[in-house]
Amino acid sequence: MKWTDSLDIAIELSETHPDVDPTRINFVDLRDWVLALPEFDDDPKHCGEKILEAIQQAWIDEVE
């Protein structure tokens, strides 16, 4: 997975952290959790606030 795979990342995060409310996660934790996903393989430097917002929104949508 790459940073642009926001839906796939969101699905993995919802499965990995089922008890987390994605509306309450901070971007530092979100970034760390994405980097820790086994299927994730992208440069950590390519991440920005807009990418994290997209991942967070996809996670919120996935939970709802």
* Phi, psi dihedral angles at 40 (to 5 degrees): -80, 130
> In a structure prediction context, what are the per-residue pLDDT tens digits for the chain, which is 64 residues long?
999 999 999 999 999 999 999 999 999 999 999 999 999 999 999 999 999 999 999 999 999 8
Structure confidence at residue 51 (pLDDT): 98
Structure confidence at residue 57 (pLDDT): 98
Residue 20's contacts (CB-CB under 8 Å, 6 or more residues apart) are 13
What stretches of the chain show up as alpha helix (H) in DSSP? 6-16, 27-36, 49-63
Q: What is the token pair recorded at 63?
A: 């939970």
Complete domains list, the chain, with CATH: 6-63 (1.10.10.600)
